[in-house]
Amino acid sequence: MKRKSVAVVGAAETTEMGLIPNLSQLQLHADAALNTLADAGLKPTDIDGVATAGESPTSVAHYLGITPTWVDGTSVGGCSFMIHVRHAAAAINEGLCSTVLITHGESGRSRIGSGRWGGSPASLSGQFEAPFGTMGPPTVFTIPVLRYMKTYAVSEEQLATVAVVQREWAGKNPRASYREPITVADVLNSRMIAYPFRLLMCCLVTDGGGALILTSAERARDFPRKPVYVLGTGESVETPMISQMEDFTTSKAFRVSGKKAIDEAGITHKDVDHLMIYDAFAHLPLYGLEDLGFCKPGEAARFIQERNTAPGGVLPLNTNGGGLSYMHSGMYGMYAMQESIRQLRGVAAAQVPGAKISIAHGVGGMFAASGTIVFSNQAP
């Protein structure tokens, strides 16, 4: 991919956020798309590329009245939207299309017009994991953490601190689902879900959506909003079975995707003003900080505890409140990128003064996949 060759010229979330029982999943895609088209000053007929996950790109294109010359239905979980940005950049560079719409919508809580969970009992995870009582992400995504905590002597209090700090950020965001301050004791005393994870260490389950429009950096200057440039991108996958992760203390997909994006952007960690790490559960920011290279292995818990990622810290992290406090529809990656873009446009609820470079790092499945985008508001 050519460096700095594409930019985000439209970005918006659904009008409502949280509990939206009056919209189907497909309409959540459309609501986000219409808000994003308005943000970019475009009409559906201006779009010639469509990417989405959760719904098929065919459904979204037809529903919105778009006739694309390029589609991408990559669906590897919550980081699919980061990967769509990466693929869109390649497609725009190759001339397959000029203006790409990426949509996400998910009726995660209300379950209106959304699919069912669960895989085939003949799949490898169906044969070798499901028989042992896995009951969705809270009991699966969480399994590696005891090994991580033993290896690096991380305490339950430190794990709880991740949720406490993110609630501080959520307190600054009027659209966040949960805004009341919480303490480490509140987290540790909340209902046990899957030891060592308590309720407040687990993400929300809400309804919502978001969309992005990308075009070439050259064309981006002609749009009403200040462009947010894509400096670097990465993607990878590891395994659909958590039991088969190479190492429970680090995610290979995170390391590969993160390095690819940071190297391609040609930046160093010190250049990063703002960071989003997909936090389905409280341990993910720990793995993300280490696997992206912001902390050495085993040092992320202390880094957070010492308030480096909190309001006023050197590396503001998950400034919308994250999946733990802002919203989590099921595939949260889109919201991480929306917050990066708000920060670089200078319009975030908890604005980081003068932020120029932001990284949005996503996970897909349960440490199964990853996508990473380095954004900047500085013209190439």
Partner 1 sequence: MAEFKRPLPHPTPETLHFWEGTQKGELRLQRCDDCRNVYFPPRPFCPKCASRKVSIFAASGRAKLYSYVISHRPAPGFTPPYAIAVVELAEGPRLMTNIVGCAQTPAALVLDMPLEAVFEKQTEDITLPLFKPAGA
Site membership for partner 1, residue 134 (CB under 8 A): yes
In this structure, are residues 73 and 57 in contact, taking their beta carbons and an 8 Å threshold? yes
Beta-strand pair 197-198/70-72: unpaired
Residue of 17, 20, 16, 6 whose CA lies nearest to 51? 6
Of the candidates 85, 140, 213, 369, which one interacts with partner 1 according to CB under 8 A?
A: 140
- What SS3 class is residue 114? coil
Site membership for partner 1, residue 116 (CB under 8 A): no
For partner 1, give the closer residue by CB, 57 or 196: 196
Site membership for partner 1, residue 98 (CB under 8 A): no
For partner 1, give the closer residue by CB, 141 or 326: 141
DSSP one-letter code for 110: T
Token code pair at residue 185: 């004791």
CA–CA dist 142, 151 (Å, integer): 16
Site membership for partner 1, residue 124 (CB under 8 A): yes
Token code pair at residue 380: 């190439």
Site membership for partner 1, residue 155 (CB under 8 A): no
Of the candidates 169, 178, 197, 332, which one interacts with partner 1 according to CB under 8 A?
A: 197
**Total of residues contacting partner 1 (CB under 8 A):** 37
Site membership for partner 1, residue 291 (CB under 8 A): no
Site membership for partner 1, residue 192 (CB under 8 A): yes
Stretch that binds partner 1, among 146-154, 308-316, 330-338, 350-358 (CB under 8 A): 146-154
Of the candidates 43, 147, 221, 269, which one interacts with partner 1 according to CB under 8 A?
A: 147
Give 143-150's long-range contacts (Cβ < 8 A, gap of 24+).
143/242, 143/243, 143/248, 144/242, 144/245, 144/248, 144/249, 144/283, 144/367, 145/196, 145/197, 145/248, 145/283, 146/196, 147/248, 147/249, 148/248, 148/249, 148/283, 148/286, 148/287, 149/196
Of the candidates 178, 223, 248, 335, which one interacts with partner 1 according to CB under 8 A?
A: 248
Site membership for partner 1, residue 282 (CB under 8 A): no
Site membership for partner 1, residue 122 (CB under 8 A): yes
Site membership for partner 1, residue 130 (CB under 8 A): yes
DSSP one-letter code for 242: G
In this structure, are residues 20 and 227 in contact, taking their beta carbons and an 8 Å threshold? no
Of the candidates 78, 144, 288, 364, which one interacts with partner 1 according to CB under 8 A?
A: 144
Task: Quote the least distance from Cβ 203 to partner 1, whole Å.
Answer: 15
Stretch that binds partner 1, among 91-99, 143-151, 272-280, 328-336 (CB under 8 A): 143-151
Of the candidates 3, 67, 95, 135, which one interacts with partner 1 according to CB under 8 A?
A: 135
For partner 1, give the closer residue by CB, 81 or 367: 367
Task: Quote the least distance from Cβ 300 to partner 1, whole Å.
Answer: 18
CA–CA dist 33, 14 (Å, integer): 8
- What SS3 class is residue 326? coil
Say which residue the tokens 């469509």 belong to: 50
Task: Quote the least distance from Cβ 248 to partner 1, whole Å.
Answer: 5
Residues 6+ apart with CB under 8 A from 219: 9, 98
Stretch that binds partner 1, among 158-166, 193-201, 223-231, 262-270 (CB under 8 A): 193-201
Q: What one-character-per-residue DSSP string does 41-101 give?
A: T--GGG--EEEESSS-HHHHHHHHT---SEEE---SSTTHHHHHHHHHHHHHHHTS-S-EE
Site membership for partner 1, residue 297 (CB under 8 A): no
Contact set with partner 1 (CB under 8 A)? 120-122, 124, 126-136, 138-140, 142-147, 150, 191-197, 241-244, 248
